[in-house]
Amino acid sequence: MNLAYAYPKSRFEPATLVDLNSRAERERLSQSALKGFFRLAGAWNLRDEDARELLGGLSSSAFYDWKKNPDRLLEVDRITRVSYLLGIYKSLHILYGDKLADEWVQLPNSNPIFAGRTPLAFMLGGGLLAMQSVRRLLDARRGGL
């Protein structure tokens, strides 16, 4: 009799993670990531300075060039930033109506992680880790926590 433990059979198939270190994957994702980011920036009424900072401190000339021609290769950090922001955008639109979802990042928030600041100010001050925190907070709210 075999007493070895085994996981029960399941229909769950884990998603294959995208390897952002792969140049081919970044080439595949970069243009659509930038287009999505610029649409998000418009929906959130972001100032260009704030949008540049959310992208990781991009210069004005590079920002306007990217906006005009989004067909370029992004670094892992920038794709990750855009991914978090688009996830935040999606979660907000699932949780709230369109008007509040697009205003939420610029409204003061009483959640302790924001310390009375707006989520946008929190993300601008905390960079990538702050974006991750906001994304996790909203994902938890979507899950009922």
pLDDT tens profile 55-83: 999 999 999 999 999 999 999 999 999 99
pLDDT tens profile 91-137: 999 999 999 999 999 999 999 999 999 999 999 999 999 999 999 99
* Token output for 132: 């991750």
pLDDT at 5: 73
**How far, in whole angstroms, is CA 30 from its chain's centroid?**
14
Model-level pTM?
0.87
pLDDT at 48: 97
* Token output for 78: 């920038």
pLDDT at 13: 78
Burial class (CB in 10 A: 0-12, 13-18, 19+), 134: buried
pLDDT at 2: 62
Q: Is 37 helix (H, G, I), strand (E, B) or coil?
A: helix
Q: Which amino acid is at 99?
A: K
Find, among 134, 50, 128, the residue nearest to 90 by Cα. 134
